Amino acid sequence: MNAYGGFFDVANKKRRLEDLNIQIEVTPDFWARPDLAAPIVKEKRLLEISLATADRLRRAIDDLDAAIELAADGEDDYRLEAETLLISLKRELTAVEAQSLLSGELDNNAAIVSINAGAGGTESCDWAQMLLRMYLRYAERKGWKTELYDILNGDSAGIRNATFEVQGDFAFGLLKCENGVHRLVRISPYDSNARRHTSFASVYVTPVVDDSIVIDINPADLRVDTYRSSGAGGQHVNKTDSAIRITHMPTGVVVACQTQRSQHQNRDQAMKLLRSALYERELAERRKIQDAKEAAKSDISFGHQIRSYVLHPYQLVKDHRTDFESHTPSEVLDGDIDPFINRYLEESFKQGQEPVK
């Protein structure tokens, strides 16, 4: 088993974790040497995740065994508890199985998620905001941290785009499965004639690169623009040009950050976004899929969606890559997207390929 899913070799993993802790303690200037520290700290973190998950599963199984034993004595309350514990354990095992399918070097890194409204005007801006809420709720369900970097409101409703970071175990490995165009079909709340509308928005996920990965950025290749952060107005309006937009002229990559209090903080965060974007671009070109990825990003319309969310005339969410379906869109839009992600990872593994990034 690899470090991502080998939860049945607890003894060896504990020994390896002890060895790493000793190595950290006895190595002079360990934390001052990122090239040495980064891979060791990363392995240590993966081992800690694996051991914590193994311990959590063991305790869950023990609780289930106890509830089943008491239920066998005719205790109806414990029978219901056993059923609840079994459902929870199945969900946990499914998540563990999905994590075991992740083998990318950066799968356990934090993720940067960008959402862009597509064809459909106000409808798509509203849809982009719904997707933003869905992913924030998904992160909240998993106990992950999120930080909003940039957001541009729509003219009358919703958002045109948003960029945020997600920090958590295997955040990038799981969220990269959401790359692509998402389609919404519903009765428009903005149409006085109550007609059905179709809206599109794209989701683009990149990994946050750590200090062990060197990204060479020439300051002369950057155009830095400052502007006033958007806000609701009143006493909370930003009265200084603290927002930062950075354009990497050789590649045309543009990043922005406006959520920090100072221009310096926004610039640091924008550079972080730029490093991740350039690293992902390099990986994409290396794997010869950049053309397909850019085409999917640029054409946010019919025929390019990875998933459809139908709210009218019936209730259905369908992933077009795996044909996996859910008939409870309200739960999906409230962040219950693990089943879609898990199925996509399973299908990608069966086909012997890394999930598309």
CATH value at residue 76: 1.20.58.410
Considering the domain architecture, whether residues 72 and 114 belong to the same structural domain is answered as no
Whether 270 shows a pLDDT value over 50: the answer reads: yes
CATH of the domain at 325: 3.30.70.1660
- Same-domain status, 135 and 250: yes
Give the pLDDT of residue 174: 95
Determine, yes or no, domain membership for 116: yes
Same structural domain, 131 and 224: yes
Mark which of 65, 80, 100 sits at the end of a domain.
100
Q: Of 38, 45, 171, which is closest to residue 110 (Cα–Cα)? A: 171
Same domain, 216 and 85: no
Question: Any idea which of 138-152, 231-245, 271-285 has the lowest mean pLDDT?
Answer: 231-245
Residues 209 and 304 in one domain: yes
176 and 215 assigned to the same domain: yes
Q: Judge whether 169 lies within some domain.
A: yes
Residue of higher predicted confidence among 278 and 292: 278
pLDDT-derived band at 292 (thresholds 50, 70, 90) equals low
pLDDT in tens, 142-196: 999 999 999 999 988 999 999 999 999 899 999 999 999 999 999 988 887 888 8
**Same domain, residue pair 136 and 33:** no
Is 3 within a domain?
no
Nearest-10 Cα torsion for 65, 67, 70, 75: -150
Cβ-contact 316, 330 below 8 angstroms: no
pLDDT band at 288 (very low <50, low <70, confident <90, very high): low
87 and 126 part of one domain: no
Q: What average pLDDT does the segment 320-330 reach?
A: 96
Residue 336 belongs to a domain:
yes
Asked whether residue 4 is assigned to any structural domain, the reply reads no
Give the pLDDT score at 92. 82
Name which of 308, 303, 302 is nearest 322 in CA terms.
Answer: 308
Q: Looking at 46, 66, 100, which one is the last position of a domain?
A: 100
Tens of pLDDT, residue by residue over 105-126, are 889 899 999 999 997 789 999 9
Across the chain, mean pLDDT equals 84
pTM: 0.75
pLDDT more than 90, % of the chain:
44
State residue 70's pLDDT score. 86
Does residue 340 sit in the same domain as residue 247? yes
Whether residue 5 is contained in a domain is answered as no
> Residue 238 pLDDT more than 60?
no
pLDDT score for 235: 43
More confident residue, 178 or 43: 178
Write out the H or E segment, with its range, that includes residue 207.
strand 196-207
Domain, as residue range, for 290: 106-357
Q: Are residues 84 and 142 in the same domain?
A: no
Residue 146 located in a structural domain? yes
Measured over all CA atoms, what is the biggest interatomic distance in the chain, rounded to whole angstroms?
76
Number of domains in the chain: 2
> Do residues 219 and 284 share a domain?
yes
Q: Pick the last residue of a domain from 82, 100, 118.
A: 100
| pLDDT tens, residue by residue, 193-228 | 888 899 999 999 999 986 656 678 899 999 999 987
Better-scored residue on pLDDT, 126 or 5:
126
What integer pLDDT is reported at residue 355 of this predicted model? 55
Q: Do 170 and 62 share a domain, yes or no?
A: no
Cβ burial of 242 (10 Å; 0-12, 13-18, 19+) is buried
Predicted confidence at residue 283, as pLDDT, reads 75
